[in-house]
Amino acid sequence: MDQLLFNSDYPYILSTLIFLPLAGALILLFVQNEFFARYWALGVTTLTAILSIPLLTNFDTNSAKFQFVQQCSWVKSLNIQYVIGVDGISILLVMLTTLIMPLCVLASWSYIKTRVQTFMICLLIMETSMLGVFVALDFVLFYILWEAMLIPMYLLIGIWGGPRKIYASIKFFLYTLAGSIMLLVGIIWLYKTNNYSFFIPDMMWKNYSLTSQVYIFLAFFLAFAIKVPMFPFHTWLPAAHVEAPTAGSVILASVLLKMGTYGFLRFALPITPEATTIFMPYVLWLSVAGIIYGGFTALAQNDMKKLIAYSSVGHMGFVTLGIFVMNIEGVEGAILQMINHGVTTGALFLCVGMIYERTHSRELRSATGVGKYMPIYVTFLTFFSLSSFGFPGTNSFVGEFLILAGAFKYSTPLALAAIPGAVLAAAYMLRMLQKIVWGGTDNPDQSWLTDLNVREIVTLTPFLFFVFWIGLGPQPFINLMHTSVVNLLDQFHAHQGQVVTAAELIFH
Amino acid sequence: MQFLPELTLLGASLIIFMVSLGKPDSNKMKTIAICLGSAIFVATIVSFNEKGILFYNSYKVDLYSQVFKSLIAGSFLIVLILGQKLKSIKSTVHPEYYLFMFVSVLGLMMLVSSVELLAIFIALELSSFAVYIMVPMRDEGGSYRFQMEAGIKYLLFGVTATGFMLFGMSYMFGLTGSTQLNVVMVKLSEMYTQPAAIIAIMMVLAGFFYKLALFPFHFWVPDVYEGASNETTAFIASVPKLAAVALLIRLISMVNAEGQTIVTILMVCAVLSMFYGNLSALVQTDIKRMLGFSGIAHAGFVLLGLLTFQLSGYANSIYYIIGYVVMNLACFLVICSISKNGENLLISDLSGLHKRAPILAVTMAIALFALAGIPPFVGFMGKFMLLTGALKQGYLLLVILAAINTAIAIFYYLSVVRITFCSDPEKSTSITSGFFTNATSLLLVFIIVIMGVVPQKFIDFASLAVQSIK
């Protein structure tokens, strides 16, 4: 238990964050009033966001241990515990989730017109399970929340989605579930090997045999790579993103995708360090493939949501690249980029949603030349687009710079191979921006469009704030994660030393 | 007191018989049946802590049997409530229908207490024959008569399975010279290497495989589920399975774990049941057929707990079958309420249910997600425990195959959820579900959630019950 740090000032803070939205959802079950449902969901998510602030102010940045821990037994006969805590890797993701949810509610204010209560219930349950996944320190707790999340997300896409919602929602569900089935078997195997305990910190940095590590890693990889999604497993993402309602897209892009990369950092690296070392080169090149592939496909899209969805594949490729180069710049850049992607892509989906609410089309062609009539809107859009391709001074620049620095440290050819991705990002984002702001000579008549209203400006402003904060002063964010990342990498390299010889024996 | 539940049942059957002599209207009949069902449930609760041996050592009343009796009575009561209108049974035969149902439950209750081969046989036949008659009692207005086909199929397969079982029992008697279960199993344990002993045990198990619808005794399932009326199917799909698992555990717990051949056979049956059930369920359009095939797959999962030959494994199986029965009853509750005149339902008939009957739609969705094994419901916890137990015994391949099956199963459950929740109603027929039905469905949902979230109490209790066999 030496990995845990109990905080006596806030003993129940994480549980409160997890269960507050759930309680809110339960109360909504008995409400028939749509207006109340909107305000109630906004209130609950805002309250959760406010309550999560003490996490930041009381977080001990000098400790790599899990903080704000709460622990109690859950299912005794199987030794399943209810144990939760945050460390430097998860705290930013928790904050991202709590802060983004009220904005999702705001974004659905007028977008969702049917079955509002059910929608808000789904959003609140999503928040519960997402927060739970990031703070769970018991593998069964983690798995339960990881899977349970599929139900509300499935309903979000399947009920309020676009024309091909059925196809998209089922594909999303099947892909993610089929991917994590072997994770379950891996979890049970680890449980058996670790003296019948599901406690995650105890599973880390053990000397499992290389063969079993390889199998466990493959199980992890399948589950997490689908969630990220990495290059050959990405096909569910464009479908789901395109069909989901705006709030669904935002949650999917900002939080759900991060669970895959979070899974790599939390489980794959510490539990199977030796197998990670062996598979590292392959994963790195898959990431590069994802970056280039995402870039080229995004360039060819005429559907705005699809364009951003494919750009996500590219951005997440950068994140996995950063994680698997295994040096301090890479991993810190990757974590920062996870947040950046959440902020920027989330905001871009919101922007597309706002256009969609007006024109009821996601086609780039029908949204051309709105700059003249929606000046505030295009201002926001410009900043987010610049941020998306890593313009200096915005958040993604810091993240991508760190990742590429880490990649160059690891191997120059690899880093050079990833560079075109950054160029492509500029190409497709500028193409979209140019079309939306100015368009050509054959623009449709956009004069009837109204500019953003106060609610929409309020929704977008926090995103813009973080774009510049992380872009201009990233140090506070990096400080939060630094100790944990250093600790992770130190342990990893200590283990790696023992294996290199073994790996060489296998592959030569 | 030890025999109270059975006596109550017997009395109830007699009362119904008396009533059937007159000409009761179906509404009155329904009230009588539900009251008697509640009385039986109360009787099982009252005699919960009884212990004793009756009828010349052939009938054992222990915690294990009493737990199962109250489970049987409880699920029987729910079947009575959900099928209260008996839509597709001719109203003139309602009393007789109830009579056979009660007699069948009597057989099942006796089954869980029987510890002697002939007592087992008689109890099993008593429960089966009543159901053989219930199946063709469906009235379809003469338009089609597949209930007759279903009845004949059920009878023929049932008799064949019984034949297997009797043949196996004769072997057991021949090998051991006794019909007492505890004597038989102790003696059989000494001759595990002999094929005769293995054949004897497998053949006796076959009779219960039939009740539980396990591969290779599953052939009756789809047609009988489809042909029998919705209420009868709800009964067949839930109550007898509890008793079958009870007896399977009683038999298997006496086999010691050295019988490796038996473990292998059970493994093969489990895996084939899962694959056969899930793959066939993928292409069904009739919802009862789909549930029938899914039942075959779930029976395979139950076997996963039995073949560990550990007390914890048996407890997991009990937990799982209870969960399965609850989930299944929830589905059938919805089916019986939606079906207007007791006709069979296609999956597409559920479209837009969320608008037509929100509570039923939520019940259906939760029951299906639970059947699919999505947390946090009972289906997930049950599967998780079974997989953990099997992996503890080192059956890695089996666990992987079972896990793959979970992934296959998602698809067909999900497509039903999709139709219930994500499509708009084609027909605007609204469904009126009474207060009683709504309350029952919420109760079932509540059990599904509670068993999934706090399983510890249930598992402890199941282990306690299993320990009382010895």
Minimal Cβ distance to B399: which of A74, A145, A185: A185
Q: Quick one: how many helices (H) and strands (E) in chain B? A: 19, 2
Chain A residues inside the 8 Å CB shell of B347: none
Exposed, middle or buried: residue A205 (CB in 10 Å: 0-12, 13-18, 19+)? middle
Residues of chain A with pLDDT below 70 are: 1-2, 497-508
3-state helix, strand, coil in chain A (%, to 5): 75, 5, 20
pLDDT at B466: 86
Distance from C-alpha of B327 to C-alpha of B368, rounded to nearest angstrom: 7
Exposed, middle or buried: residue A255 (CB in 10 Å: 0-12, 13-18, 19+)? buried
For an interface test with A, give the residue of B384, B448, B457 to mutate (most A CBs within 10 A).
B384
pLDDT at B60: 84
pLDDT at A430: 92
Chain A residues inside the 8 Å CB shell of B380: 144, 147
| A82, two tokens | 């209810």
Minimal Cβ distance to B387: which of A158, A173, A188: A188
| B347, two tokens | 């999956």
Residue type, A9: D
Chain A residues inside the 8 Å CB shell of B391: 185, 188-189, 192
Q: Give mean pLDDT, residues B121-136.
A: 89
Chain A residues inside the 8 Å CB shell of B366: none
**Could you say which residues from 190 to 249 on chain A have a Cβ atom under 8 Å away from some Cβ of chain B?**
191-192
Of residues A83 and B87, the one with the higher pLDDT is A83
Percentage of chain B modeled with pLDDT above 70: 97
Residue in chain B closest to A140 (alpha carbons) equals B384
Nearest Cα to Cα of residue A280 among A249, A315, A321: A321
* All residues at 6 or more sequence positions from A405 whose CB lies less than 8 Å from its CB, including other chains: A329, A330, A333
| B247, two tokens | 């007896």
CA–CA min distance A159, chain B (Å): 5
DSSP A245: -
Dihedral pair phi/psi, residue B144, rounded to 5°: -145, 155
C-alpha distances in Å from residue B148, one per residue of A415, B145, B161, B226, B243:
73, 6, 20, 11, 26
Interval A146-175: pLDDT, tens: 988 888 999 999 888 888 888 888 899 888
Residue in chain B closest to A73 (alpha carbons) equals B456
Chain B residues inside the 8 Å CB shell of A192: 391-392
Is B415 in CB contact (< 8 Å) with chain A? Answer: yes
Specify whether the CB–CB gap between A157 and A248 falls below 8 A: yes
Is A74 in CB contact (< 8 Å) with chain B? Answer: yes
B/e letters for A80-98, b = 16+ CB within 10 Å, e = fewer, are: bbbbbbbbbbbbbbbbbbb
Minimal Cβ distance to B392: which of A155, A159, A192: A192
3-state helix, strand, coil in chain B (%, to 5): 75, 5, 20
DSSP A34: H
Chain B residues inside the 8 Å CB shell of A72: none
CA angle A399, A404, A408 (to 5 degrees): 155
pLDDT at B258: 62
CA–CA min distance B417, chain A (Å): 9
Interval B450-463: pLDDT, tens: 988 888 888 888 88
CA angle B384, B387, B389 (to 5 degrees): 105
CB–CB of B375 and A188 under 8 A? no
ipTM over 0.85: yes
- pLDDT tier at B143 (50, 70, 90 boundaries)? low
Is A477 in CB contact (< 8 Å) with chain B? Answer: no
CB–CB of A144 and B376 under 8 A? yes
pLDDT at B428: 58
The 10 Å Cβ neighbour count of residue A163 is: 9
The 10 Å Cβ neighbour count of residue A335 is: 30
| Number of residues that this document lists for chain B | 470
Interval B11-20: pLDDT, tens: 999 998 888 8
- Quick check: helix, strand or coil at residue B141? coil
CB–CB of A184 and B403 under 8 A? yes
For an interface test with A, give the residue of B347, B410, B460, B461 to mutate (most A CBs within 10 A).
B410
Residue B468 predicted with pLDDT over 70? yes
Distance from C-alpha of B31 to C-alpha of B23, rounded to nearest angstrom: 15
This prediction has a pTM of: 0.91
- A vs B, Cβ pairs < 8 A, gives 82
CB–CB of B459 and A75 under 8 A? yes
Specify whether the CB–CB gap between B334 and B427 falls below 8 A: no
Interval B276-318: pLDDT, tens: 999 988 888 888 889 999 999 999 999 888 888 888 889 999 9
Is A181 in CB contact (< 8 Å) with chain B? Answer: yes
Distance from C-alpha of B24 to C-alpha of A82, rounded to nearest angstrom: 56
Distance from C-alpha of A224 to C-alpha of A216, rounded to nearest angstrom: 12
- Quick check: helix, strand or coil at residue B341? coil
CA angle A443, A448, A452 (to 5 degrees): 100
CA angle A222, A227, A231 (to 5 degrees): 75
Q: Is the dihedral of CA A209, A210, A215, A217 positive or negative?
A: positive
Concatenate the DSSP letters of all residues of A249-296 into one string: HHHIIIIIHHHHHHHIIIIIHHHSHHHHHHHHHHHHHHHHHHHHHHHH
Nearest Cα to Cα of residue B84 among B23, B135, B35: B35
Residue type, A239: A
C-alpha distances in Å from residue A104, one per residue of A236, A347, A454:
22, 10, 15
Q: Is the dihedral of CA B58, B59, B63, B69 positive or negative?
A: positive
